[in-house]
Structure 1
Amino acid sequence: MIQAPRLLLAGGDTDPQLVRLLKRAALHGISVHCLLTGQAGSPRLHWDIRQHRLLDDAEEVTVSAAFIRQDVFAYLNSNNAQDNASAREWFVSVSGWLLSSPDIHVCNRPFLACGGVNKPYVLRLALELGFDVADTYISNDIPAMDALAQTGEWVVKPVTGGAYCTPLTPHEGRGNNILAFPQTVQQRLEQPELRVFRVGAAWFGFQVLSDVLDYRTSSATRMKVVDVPPDLVEKLTLLSDRLGLDFAAADFKTDAHSGALQFLEINTNPMFAGFDQIAAGALSDAILRHLGVLRKCE
């Protein structure tokens, strides 16, 4: 029997989010079991499905809560597809154990087995729930996309995410007038941006200002803590509940003509380390409280 709350951190050992949580847990004296891969190698894991015992280097893993992220940083550093495949295998293995352990507190338990959010579906769902959403097309139709590109007011990004947003430009040299797969084409929006985190019943807002189209490409991005408009809290509660999320981050950007915030997407396991620094650890502490390893009064 677990005598005191103990947290499992699982993912990549260079993931800033896990590093941040580990530091905050240490600050609060929270016991942590790390199941991390990367620069220090890999753990020696053995999960007996029938007995439901997970061993890490022959030590049984006994925790009351867990925070898990699929590692993306090993692949970003190496550009080796094997690192990406390995990270996926580790994530599925450990999340499978967590899904089979209902007594362990985890974020987004109802969503954990889904594997990922369907971004076009979420845009449509957001419209149905009353969000303002910029005009958007999912398309591989080159003539239709090129007609939009002529105005200079559209951007393009992958349907599944994972890459930066770029201006939509005309396509050249495509004889069959179609791309190999669809892309998301969306009306170009402007600064400022708003990122809203949900951590259980707690909400955190951050204004993001940048001189570039996608703030993730700039080291000069400026962020500050702001209040979350009550109407967005209400709508985001409906959206995240519908998706089975109790930990998420939603992104908004400004319509240059109306000044209204336009919903872009919701992230189911968002990067938060930079925002947490701006908030003096409030995000990490909220996660630890939500997982039950940090008392509400701390």
Structure 2
Amino acid sequence: MGNRSGSVLVLTNPLDVTADAVLRVLAERRVPVVRLDPGTDLHTGASLTAAYRTGDQRGTLHTASRELDLSGVRSVWVRRASPYEGPPDLDGQDRRFAASQCFWGAGGILASLPDAHYVNHPWANRAAEHKPAQLAAAQRFGFLVPDTVITDNEHEAREFVTSHTDGAVYKPLWNTPYSVNGQPHAVWVREVSEAEITAAVSVCPHMFQAKVDKAFDVRVTAVGDRLFGVRIDSPDLDWRQRQDRMTCTAIDIPEPVARSIAAYLGEFRLVYGAFDFAMTSAGDWYFLECNPNGQWAWQPAETTTAIAHAIADQLVKGSGT
């Protein structure tokens, strides 16, 4: 039986305004909440202890303002916590050692709380973040998937691009931090030509997809069995590049797509998922990806409010039946 009256533990950084939207709902409902950024807070005054004995597991989180019995946590919302980088006053291998111990120790404790309901469990998030696994699951559960190749072979990449006369695009497999002249630089989805395929492809796997002749994009935010769809009209191939240029309106989700989403979430044991689709003029929904921890507060106010309440509902109910 889960703990349906204890605290909600929110793992995120202090600048996460998306989390704030849900925390306001929980405050209105008078649900006790503890917010923790383990990658930094555990080096600046917070502490974490767990004890394991035959037939018993206990733990305590101390923060600047609270002492939390970890056996009383009803739900854990895994949002956008800072990475485990080790204490800033350490250097070199000492800091790397401390960072790895934090990841495996503190991260392991927070991922193993008895009877807690996770949204999403961090290990489920990690499993669902791999683009190849996403595409394989999407195929199994009936989504339309653009022709895709992931390769570190120059010949294979060039052959793929040239064979798709309606165009091909390049997509990074992970949103890796990147800078140009010391300034942060995002790597967006973009069209790629045969001339751009060089031996540099061999440095690492690259993902190429057939360009979908889309009429618009669709974001479906899934929270449990509740789905929130918005149509995205943007002048850009990648609507994230200039969000001030896009418009969003609510859209209905066809039943076959909804069934595939439910099966996909079940496969990865996800409570939450942000699904991106390209919609053609013929009404075909092409699966592009599912971010298991995608942002959602940029959507129209009524959609954002509904999603915030749906997430709060998950966190309030805990794991109890």
Determine whether 1:65 maps to 2:79: no
In the alignment, which of 211, 224, 227 is matched to residue 188 of structure 1?
A: 211
CA distance in 1, matches of 2:108, 2:38: 17
SS of match in other structure, 1:49: strand
CA distance in 1, matches of 2:41, 2:60: 24
Structure 1 residues 286-297: aligned runs within 5 Å: 286-292=310-316
Structure 1 residues 229-240: aligned runs within 5 Å: 229-240=254-265
Q: 1:130 to 1:293 in 2, by over 3 A?
A: closer
Determine whether 1:135 maps to 2:147: yes
CA distance in 2, matches of 1:171, 1:181: 19
CA distance in 2, matches of 1:251, 1:88: 33
Deviation at 1:161, TM superposition (A): 4.5
Deviation at 1:288, TM superposition (A): 0.6
CA contact (8 A) 2:39 2:82 kept: no
2:34 alignment counterpart? 33
2:48 alignment counterpart? 47
Moved more, 88-97 or 113-122: 88-97
CA contact (8 A) 1:134 1:263 kept: yes
Structure 1 residues 51-130: aligned runs within 5 Å: 51-57=58-64, 59-62=66-69, 63-71=73-81, 95-109=107-121, 111-112=123-124, 114=126, 117-130=129-142
CA distance in 2, matches of 1:70, 1:91: 15
CA distance in 1, matches of 2:99, 2:145: 33
2:12 alignment counterpart? 11
Q: 1:216 to 1:172 in 2, by over 3 A?
A: closer
> One-letter code of the match for 2:12?
G
CA RMSD of aligned residues (A): 3.5
2:222 alignment counterpart? 198
Determine whether 1:154 maps to 2:168: yes
CA contact (8 A) 2:12 2:82 kept: no
Q: 1:89 to 1:32 in 2, by over 3 A?
A: farther
Q: 1:27 to 1:223 in 2, by over 3 A?
A: farther
CA contact (8 A) 1:43 1:56 kept: no
Structure 1 residues 275-290: aligned runs within 5 Å: 275=299, 277-290=301-314
CA contact (8 A) 2:125 2:292 kept: no
Deviation at 1:117, TM superposition (A): 2.4
Q: 1:41 to 1:90 in 2, by over 3 A?
A: closer
CA distance in 2, matches of 1:115, 1:242: 10
1:79 alignment counterpart? none
Output one character per residue of 1:20-67: Cα deviation in whole Å (capped at 9) or x when no partner: 222333344433222147999965232223252222238422442221
CA distance in 1, matches of 2:41, 2:107: 21
CA contact (8 A) 2:158 2:197 kept: no
Output one character per residue of 1:223-275: Cα deviation in whole Å (capped at 9) or x when no partner: 1222221111111111110111121121110246x541101111111111112
> One-letter code of the match for 1:212?
D
CA contact (8 A) 1:135 1:186 kept: yes
SS of match in other structure, 1:7: strand
Higher RCO by CA contacts (8 Å cutoff, separation 6 or greater): 2
Please, which runs of 5 or more residues in structure 2 have no aligned partner? 52-57, 86-91, 177-186
TM-score normalised by structure 2 residue count: 0.74
CA contact (8 A) 2:149 2:160 kept: no
CA distance in 2, matches of 1:275, 1:288: 17
1:78 alignment counterpart? none
Q: 1:249 to 1:178 in 2, by over 3 A?
A: closer
2:251 alignment counterpart? 226
Aligned-residue sequence identity (percent) comes to 23
CA distance in 2, matches of 1:72, 1:206: 29
